Structure 1
Amino acid sequence: MAPQLRPVWVQARLDTPLSRWLWLVKWLLAVPHFLILALLWLAFVVLTVVAFVAILVTGRYPRAIFDFNVGVLRWNWRVHYYAYSALGTDRYPPFTLADVPDYPARLRIDYPPRLHRGLVLVKWLLAVPHYLVIGLFLGGGAWLVRRWGDGGPGWGGVGLIGILVFIAAIVLLFTGTYPKPVFDFVLGMNRWVLRVAAYVGLLTDEYPPFRLDMGGTEPDEGLVPEDTEPTEPTEGGRRPGGWTVGRIVPVVVGALFALGALGLLAAGSLALWADRTQRDDDGYVTAEATLRTDTFALSSEPLSLGPGAADWVTSELGDVRVRVTPTVPGVRVFLGMTSAEEAEQYLRGTGHAVVSDITGRDVTTLQFRSGTPPAPPDSVDIWAATASGTRAVTLDTPVSEGEWVLVVLNADRHPGVSVRAEVGATAPALPWVAGTALAGGAVALVVGALLIGIAARRATG
């Protein structure tokens, strides 16, 4: 019985002689390909989602989408073979999704007539062991290194493919010869990566083998002669339809519309959720966090409002409210709003903390500064608005042009400020924002689907 061919077939030929110097500028020469591939990969992701639904429902991978996604992998393989995943040829990669039989790097994935409908749900999970392996190949492995800038610890890593290709490039530079053992090993790792990509991309049900098949050709049991073309239906000696530039462009544009639609739908859903569920009894949409410092005061970073920004805050955010509640019973807190310049003068020489970042509901990142207690807040005439008390104190902040800072301290000026802070706004435009984003997302999704569907239908022939 003749050996059965593997569904994923990767082959490469080491061109000789190779230029000693060209690899130094291949990163620049390949930029047009990288830009196009960035768009093609966006389309690949969107079309894989479409294929996922189709396989789940029908058990079939739509042929036109299959050809497109295989073409993206094929194009990607040619470019990376030319560039820094192999440096195996100096022949510039063609700008096409189609197979080019005489190009040194080729990829074939046989079209599966049927795919397992349930398996499509878990392929990403079943491939986790492979992720660990190809992470080492591509640079997912990391170790603790020392950053040269500040001398502090940091994480960094480089893939085994990159290391070996760099070694081969140095050898090529000095000897004019690409070391064959390095080439064989690099091709084995790239073949492993492409097999996993095909499996996770739902293009095959055959689980990738845990085997490093080194060298430019597949092992004997899966070898396809170099002059063998991928099996495709033909019409007059050529495949009908196919992915021409005029069909690829609408797919990419449609994928961009689809991704934009997802962003709009997500933003609209978030705005709708906030409007319907996050308003308090007074109609404010609020965010809150617990702020603590051992120093004498807390201050916000300056908020700059130009004429246009102030108008936008008034129209879109509506009324803005700041509320702080002492977390220690009986402690009287003071909350004031003033200009950034006057806040700096008031807190100069005073130990205080600047709220620079808030992550989560109960964690704050503070920049600590030492110093003496500030002047009694009631003794200075710098505040645009103030509030104080032993319970929740509220400041309805005036919205006007300028740089503004909020200051919180214990009214008796003792160190150790701990409050629950809330910032809220009536946000009258939130329902309009939600409706507009949802409607825009729906329209963009329809446009994207039409562009992809029409192009795929024409590519089917």
Structure 2
Amino acid sequence: MKLTIVHQSQYSRGELLLRTFFGFFYIVIPHAFCLYFLGIWAAILHIITFFSILFTQRYPKANFDYFLKFFRWQLRVNARMLNLSDGYPAFGLDATDDKTSLEVPYQEHVPWTKALLIFFLGVFILIPHILCLVLLSIGAWFMILFGWIAVLFTGNYPEGMHQYMVRFLRWSMRVNLYLYFMYPYYPPFNGDPDTDAGSIMDKMDFAPAS
């Protein structure tokens, strides 16, 4: 999984203030309206995907593509509302964005044992991640506040703060992808970019050879 948000050399103070005072109305409401209904369909597809993997051990490519586009849309909106990117997030599942990127390799084969584990116990086995993310969210709020002040007075978002937020979003995204059977391993306890090597936590996938 590759999640990136471009760190701009300069940020717009005007857009920052506009998002702060009116972003809920012109960004959150219209996008949340669309994502709400798309999310309902995503939930239905999640169940369909589970049964498809359960009986065939194959991940339907169309479902995978839909989820990926859905998460990309969420990322576009989050990047703007967290002031990590300027510009207005594009509407549409097929929309492109030059500020954010989310790439997830398609894995056709998914063991039915893994799907069964995640579908019924995923939230429970991810409790350690949830607790870590809750604690990190406290730091995220400080990054949002200090980043906001920095952009307002200097037009620059401190790179270290920007990276903290990107790592936080990357960690959160991995957890979501795992619940949707899209991430092949038990998520690592960090927000680092993925490496080719698997984690020792891969053992939790309980994946048989066939």
Contact 2:15 2:86 in 1 (8 A): yes
RMSD: 1.8
| Counterpart for residue 117 of structure 1 | 112
Q: Distance in 2 between matches of 1:131 and 1:122?
A: 17
TM normalised by structure 1 equals 0.39
Structure 1 residues 67 and 212, CA, compared in 2 at 3 Å: closer, same or farther?
Answer: closer
Report deviation, 1:45. 1.4
Q: Distance in 2 between matches of 1:98 and 1:210?
A: 31
| Counterpart for residue 103 of structure 1 | 98
Contact 1:60 1:113 in 2 (8 A): yes
- Secondary structure class of the residue paired with 1:11: strand
| Counterpart for residue 194 of structure 1 | 173
Letter in 2 for 1:119: K
Report deviation, 1:187. 0.8
| Counterpart for residue 65 of structure 2 | 67
Report deviation, 1:99. 6.4
Residue correspondence of structure 1 range 409-420 to structure 2 within 5 A: none
| Counterpart for residue 16 of structure 1 | 9
Cα deviation code 1:302-353 (max 9, x no counterpart): xxxxxxxxxxxxxxxxxxxxxxxxxxxxxxxxxxxxxxxxxxxxxxxxxxxx
Q: Distance in 1 between matches of 2:68 and 2:75?
A: 10
Contact 2:16 2:152 in 1 (8 A): no
The count of aligned residue pairs is: 187
| Counterpart for residue 256 of structure 1 | none
| Counterpart for residue 33 of structure 2 | 35
Letter in 2 for 1:208: P
Report deviation, 1:106. 0.6
Q: Distance in 2 between matches of 1:46 and 1:134?
A: 27
Structure 1 residues 182 and 32, CA, compared in 2 at 3 Å: closer, same or farther?
Answer: same
| Counterpart for residue 207 of structure 1 | 186
Structure 1 residues 114 and 78, CA, compared in 2 at 3 Å: closer, same or farther?
Answer: same
Residue correspondence of structure 1 range 53-452 to structure 2 within 5 A: 53-84=51-82, 87-98=83-94, 100=96, 103-123=98-118, 124=122, 125-138=124-137, 159-213=138-192, 218=193, 221=195
Letter in 1 for 2:17: L
Report deviation, 1:121. 2.0
Cα deviation code 1:80-99 (max 9, x no counterpart): 01112xx1221211112236
Q: Distance in 2 between matches of 1:176 and 1:127?
A: 38
Q: Distance in 1 between matches of 2:163 and 2:157?
A: 11
Report deviation, 1:115. 0.4
Contact 2:31 2:77 in 1 (8 A): yes
Q: Distance in 2 between matches of 1:43 and 1:14?
A: 33
Letter in 2 for 1:16: S
Where is the helix percentage greater, Structure 1 or Structure 2?
A: 2
Report deviation, 1:204. 2.5
Contact 2:58 2:110 in 1 (8 A): yes
- Secondary structure class of the residue paired with 1:207: coil
Structure 1 residues 160 and 37, CA, compared in 2 at 3 Å: closer, same or farther?
Answer: farther
- Greater radius of gyration (CA): 1
TM normalised by structure 2 equals 0.81
Cα deviation code 1:260-309 (max 9, x no counterpart): xxxxxxxxxxxxxxxxxxxxxxxxxxxxxxxxxxxxxxxxxxxxxxxxxx
- Structure 1 residue runs of 5 or longer lacking an equivalent are 1-7, 139-158, 223-461
| Counterpart for residue 200 of structure 2 | none
Letter in 2 for 1:50: I
| Counterpart for residue 359 of structure 1 | none
Report deviation, 1:212. 3.1
Q: Distance in 2 between matches of 1:48 and 1:108?
A: 19
Percent sequence identity over matched residues? 28
- Secondary structure class of the residue paired with 1:136: helix
| Counterpart for residue 205 of structure 2 | none
Cα deviation code 1:9-51 (max 9, x no counterpart): 1111112321113223322331311211122222211211111
Q: Distance in 1 between matches of 2:140 and 2:43?
A: 25
Letter in 2 for 1:129: P
Letter in 2 for 1:23: L
